[in-house]
Every structure is written in C-alpha cells, then in structure tokens.
Amino acid sequence: MALRIVFMGTPDFSVPTLHAIIKAGHDVVACYTRAPKAAGRRGLSLTKSPVHELADTCGIPVFTPRTLRDEAEIAHFAGHNADVGVVVAYGLILPKPVLDAPRYGCLNLHGSLLPRWRGAAPIQRAVMAGDLQTGVMVMRMEEGLDTGPVAMTHRTAIGADMTAGELHDELSPAGAALAVEALVALERGELVFTPQPAEGVVYAHKIEKAEARLDWSAPATRVHNRIRGLSPFPGAWFEADFGRGVERVKVLRSTLAQGSGAPGSVSGDDLVVACGDGAVRLLHVQRAGGKAVSAAEFARGIVSMPASFS
C-alpha cells in the first residue's frame, strides 16, 4: 500500500531521497522547499532548489512558503491529508501543528549519529572534528532541534583524508535507501522509535565565514581536518603573494606530511606547509576566479613561491 507523503527538502542531499520515495511507488502529494534564489550578476533571474527542479520534472505540486508558523500555511499543510511528512535538510523550523498534521507525524533524515551533531551542518562538523565515524538516521520529529526518537541508523567510516563533499555523496544515497526502508516499516506498523541518549549532545552550528581562514599556528591535524571539512564549500583559504600581489587561495584537498618550521612556512614547490605542530601537504588548490588544480600544476603557473603563507 502506497503512503500519501508530503516531502520537505531543499539541497542536493535531499534529492536521492525524494527520487527513491517516488520510485518506491508512494504518492508524493506535495513538495515543500526553499523559495528560488536570485541569480546572475544583477539578480534578475531565479534559481530553483534541486528538490524544486525534481518535483517540477515529476509533476509534483511545489510550495515555497517563507514561514510555516501562520495559520493559513498551517491549514494549507494540513489540507494535504498526508499519511506522513518526510523531511530532509528542508531549512525551515516546523511548528507543532505542522509536525502533528500528518497521520503518522513527520520523519526526518539527519546526517549524523544523533545526539552528536544536531543542527545545520552535521557532515561538515563531523569531518572538521576529526570524527572517525558518522552516519544517517531516521527520526520522528519533535519541536526541539533534532531531539526526536530514532528509528533506523546507517553508519559509515570517515577516512583520514575524506572531504565533507565526499562524505555528503556517500551519505545521501545511503540515507535515501534508509528512508524508503523506514517507510516500508511504517506501512507495516513495525517502525520502532528509541529515545536519544541524554549524554553526548553536540551541536553542528552553521559554518561562519571567519572559520574558513586557515590558522597555520594550529596543529597540523586540526588544519587538515578544517581543509577537508570545508571542501568543496565554502573552502578553507589562505593568503600569499605569488609575484603579482597578495591573493586568496582555497585549499580543497590536503594530507598530513612530515615537516616543521615557523607556522605557514612553505617547503619548496611541493606545498608542504608547517603548522603549529607538524605539517600538511596541499594537494588541490584554487586561486580566486580560477579552477581547482593539483599542487604541481599550481606551482608551475605562479611567478614565484613565497617563503610562507598567511
């Protein structure tokens, strides 16, 4: 028996779950996503979210309210008469009347092993913290931020050099499969929820712009984790003069390396940079306005290598 579903999501991470739910034969009666954003130099065109694009392709009605807290929007949401709401990185807070409107409430697919990394940036924060393991969980939503009881979990290891982008691409399809599995159990009345532990709560706060600037005085492990945790977006960066004035360079991939010296000092053209303790080798970098290139290609394209980065 197909479930009547309202899907709520916005970014690329959400798309495989919506696609899997449709493929499984469920009736997605509405999609809620963030409103289109202004694009282009003058902001005259609008860019729809990835979920919006897929919903349009599949002929699913799309709604982009700026809030779900007013009575009219709550009544409209309830009017979908959904069996369940499925929420994946939607981006808006759902008030209790919305959470309670579907017959079985709302399920959320979250990209961490709760209660660790509740909040907006769980994938990036897990990598930045040097976590060895993370995953995705299906939970029943409550009014609190990612506080609801958990029904299903998929775990995955985080490799020593894995970037947040790579982890995202691994967790997204795994989460889609888990969500469909949860809906099967829900249909059968077999979806069992377990409260989250009271201990181990950590919040994955939104990434701030200031966090992207690299601090070479930090230990190499911390620098490396920041680089991979912020790759590909927003991208950790440093500044240096390569012969044409000071410019900003993003670092998209690195690895721990042998080396020592004053923090920020560079060893030759192989882009080994000394940190407060140890060193990192920069593997892929991107100059402002340029494309991502290997360290070797980058070194060939500059006028001169400075003695240190800042």
- For 76-101, the pLDDT digits (tens) are 999 999 999 999 999 999 999 999 99
Instruction: Look at the pTM and tell me if it is higher than 0.85.
Output: yes
Chain-centroid distance, C-alpha 294: 25
Contact 80, 28 (CB under 8 A): no
Query: For residues 82 and 203, what is the distance between their CA atoms, to the nearest angstrom?
Result: 31
Question: Model confidence at 183, in pLDDT bands (50, 70, 90)?
Answer: very high
Equal fold, 4-203 vs 209-300: no
Longest alpha-carbon distance in the chain: 67
For residues 214, 241, 305, 279, the Cα torsion angle rounded to the nearest 10 degrees is -10
Is the per-residue pLDDT at 268 higher than 90? no
Query: For residues 29 and 86, what is the distance between their CA atoms, to the nearest angstrom?
Result: 12
Helices 50-58 and 15-23, axial angle in degrees (round to 10) = 20
Region 4-203: CATH code: 3.40.50.170
User: Pick from 265, 295, 297: which is nearest to 279 by CA?
Assistant: 265
Average pLDDT, the chain: 95
Tell me: the pLDDT tens digits for 195-243? 999 999 999 999 999 999 999 999 999 999 999 999 999 999 999 998 8
What ranges do the domains of the chain cover? 4-203, 209-300
Query: For residues 215 and 45, what is the distance between their CA atoms, to the nearest angstrom?
Result: 38
Query: For residues 182 and 190, what is the distance between their CA atoms, to the nearest angstrom?
Result: 9
Question: Model confidence at 40, in pLDDT bands (50, 70, 90)?
Answer: low
CATH homologous superfamily for the domain 209-300? Formyl transferase, C-terminal domain (3.10.25.10)
Query: For residues 88 and 90, what is the distance between their CA atoms, to the nearest angstrom?
Result: 6
Tell me phi and psi for residue 79, to 5 degrees.
-65, -10
